[in-house]
Structure 1
């Protein structure tokens, strides 16, 4: 399943990269967008968040030791009171919002998972890095985007068939992996300069063989979740 990405002012970057399969084009596009940011904003000031819990599809990386170590090294290099660091067990790529927790029962969730599993794509490899950022976060570029976009579209369709409210459409999806969130509004130039010094670090390979359905919550300035279920991506031929 494929989808066409479109310009969306709410997304970052607003325009998608010119080539969704080329890691160099994706990284350059992310970096150019971050360099154009004049001020960091408060990531936690999000009107769309109800303050409760919600179900999301995520890719999580609890066993990717190289990724965890690299994220920690980058965090150590840019430590600042205005940045809330993502803990080692909190690294993730957000895919789709399914619905607020109060809107979904167990049978509804089971339906979402079954439809998603029945249409799950093949497992795929990602390249994580280099480091870049957005208006509200420091984050790695990830590439290629094509398999992530296809997975997002499949999961969105599973939610629609189960009557879930969902979140943003696949057209607005901009894959990334965050390592820190800005907790205030301030000029971005010093952060961009620090990130620039880290962009020469090697990129990291990650194999994606499953997607987790989680119940997401906030604990102070950290995202936490409980894994409710998961789908397995097929090994292919």
Structure 2
């Protein structure tokens, strides 16, 4: 899952990683330029039974759950597999396939992360409005500065134990929170129109106080995971 780098989306960074409007405009402009969207499950191919380790942020904030619910209800005709409400997440960093990492390596990665994350304080994010990518619909997330620092620290911690060759560079990180995966190749036109109608919903605030090292798997066109470690920020 980390061996072949995928093109980041949007292709370019916003002109400011601290300006929420710049981030949202960049996400929206990139999505609106798409002519076609792809089946996520084909584009992001996994072998049967495949699983992998990732650093995740997870969310259960009531305001975010309510916003996701409203948007998913309006998109149920669009060939979208909705993200379960108990599965809302922000992917920070892929670590590697499960069969290539030992329990000792995971423990060492976690210990290294604990040391580096003591210097990063808990923070808040604004999540929304809705936009999309080549194979998913997702919320913009702003600002990026704390997330970029978090990604960099986790990358350093992971690379101190594993080879850095397959670990994504922070320059390729594009924070987002997905709400649905496109399951049918199609023209992007209708999806863009339907998302446009939902962009008036105001962003909501979510808190970030910890990161999770998860073992991720696919089940019936959904992502599910098991926590392997939870690392607090600033402690």
Residue 146 of structure 2 aligns to a residue whose secondary structure is: helix
| 8 Å contact kept, 1:131–1:140 | yes
For the pair 1:152 / 2:148, whether they are aligned, the reply is no
Residue 211 of structure 1 aligns to a residue whose secondary structure is: strand
Q: How far, CA to CA, are the matches of 2:100 and 2:163 in structure 1?
A: 8
Q: Out of 56, 59, 63, which is 1:58 matched to?
A: 56
| 8 Å contact kept, 2:210–2:231 | yes
Tell me what 1:5 maps to: none
TM-score normalised by length of structure 1: 0.92
Residue 15 of structure 1 aligns to a residue whose secondary structure is: coil
Deviations 1:81-135 (A, max 9, x none): 5211101011100010111111111111111011101010111110000110111
Residue 40 of structure 2 aligns to a residue whose secondary structure is: coil
- Cα offset, 1:79, TM superposition: 1.0
Tell me what 1:43 maps to: 40
Residue 119 of structure 1 aligns to a residue whose secondary structure is: helix
Deviations 1:118-171 (A, max 9, x none): 010111110000110111010000000111111111111111111256432211
| Structure 1: runs of 5 or more not aligned | 1-7
Q: How far, CA to CA, are the matches of 2:144 and 2:207 in structure 1?
A: 14
| 8 Å contact kept, 1:104–1:164 | no
| 8 Å contact kept, 1:98–1:164 | no
Deviations 1:8-31 (A, max 9, x none): 981100011000000011001101
| 8 Å contact kept, 2:212–2:229 | yes
- Cα offset, 1:220, TM superposition: 1.6
Q: How far, CA to CA, are the matches of 1:57 and 1:31 in structure 2?
A: 26
Q: How far, CA to CA, are the matches of 1:11 and 1:134 in structure 2?
A: 10
Deviations 1:12-71 (A, max 9, x none): 00011000000011001101111111111111113663441100000001x311111110
TM-score normalised by length of structure 2: 0.92
Tell me what 1:79 maps to: 76
Tell me what 2:195 maps to: 195
For the pair 1:204 / 2:204, whether they are aligned, the reply is yes
| 8 Å contact kept, 1:43–1:136 | yes
Tell me what 1:109 maps to: 106
CA RMSD of aligned residues (A): 1.6
| Structure 2: runs of 5 or more not aligned | none
